[in-house]
Structure 1
Amino acid sequence: MNMKKIIALYRSAETGKTSTLNLLIELLDKNKKVEEERLIEDRRVSISYGSKKIAVTTWGDNGFELKENIKFFEKENCDILVTATRTRGETTEILNDYAKEIDTDIIWIEKNISAKLEELINQSQAKDINAIIDTLI
C-alpha cells in the first residue's frame, strides 16, 4: 500500500504561494524561522514531522522547477510532498502524471488572495495546510 501523499497549492504567479509555504515550513519546524523580508524566497526543505518526513517546495511556476521538486521529494525519501504549482498547464500536467506514476491522489488547494489581507491570509492558509498534513500522519 502506497503511503506517499501530494498536496498542491495552486494559483497564478505572484499570488503568495511562496510566502504561504514558507510560513508552513515554520509551523512544521520551529527551528526553520523565516525573517519577514525572506518570505518570498524559494526553498526546498525536508522536515521530520510526527512520524512522517515532509518535503515542502515553494518553487512551482514552471515545469523544470516542478520536476526538481519531485526529484528532491524522492531523493529525501519523503512521505508527503507539499508544493506550489500553477493553476493549469505544464506544471499541473507534470504533477498529475507523477501522482499516477506513484499511485496516489493530489490534494489540490487553491491559494486564497486579497491584497489588503495578504499576510493574514497567508498565515491562515499555512495553518490550514498544516491541519491537512496532521490528518495524513
Structure 2
Amino acid sequence: MVIYESDYSIFDYDKENSIFSHIFKPDSENLDNEKFKEEMLIYLDFFAKYKPKKALVNNQEMQFIIEPELQEWHAQNIFPKCIELGVEQAAIVETPDIFAQVSMEQLMEEEKTGGFAVRFFDDTTKATNWLVS
C-alpha cells in the first residue's frame, strides 16, 4: 500500500510481511541535501507509525549522490531511530549509477552498531525473497 509519494520517493508498506519500502524515483537527481533530509524525516515519521521489522530500499532509479556529511547525518538521525523502532533487516536494491551506488554503500557502512542485517541485491524480487524468508 502506497502511503506517501513525492517527486523523489514512494513509501510503501506491506503489512502482511512487515516490509516498509522506500523507492527512489528518477527525479531524485533533483534532490539537494536539505530535500533529502526532509524526505528522510518523513520516512522516519511513517516508520514510527508502522514499526516494520524489515526495510526495502529500492535504488534502481536513484540519481542522487549522498555526500559524506549527509551520510553522517543519516547515521546519527535515521539509523538509530529505525533500530529503536525494531527494524531487523534491510534489503538494498542497487542503482546502476556507480556514483550513487558507492554513496549508498558508504551510507550503509555508517551503521556500525550491527543493529540490523543488511544485504545488497540487483533486483527487487531477490531482495523481497530474502526479507520474507
Q: Same fold (TM over 0.5)?
A: no
Which category describes the TM-score, using the shorter chain as reference length?
0.3 to 0.5
TM-score (norm 1): 0.41
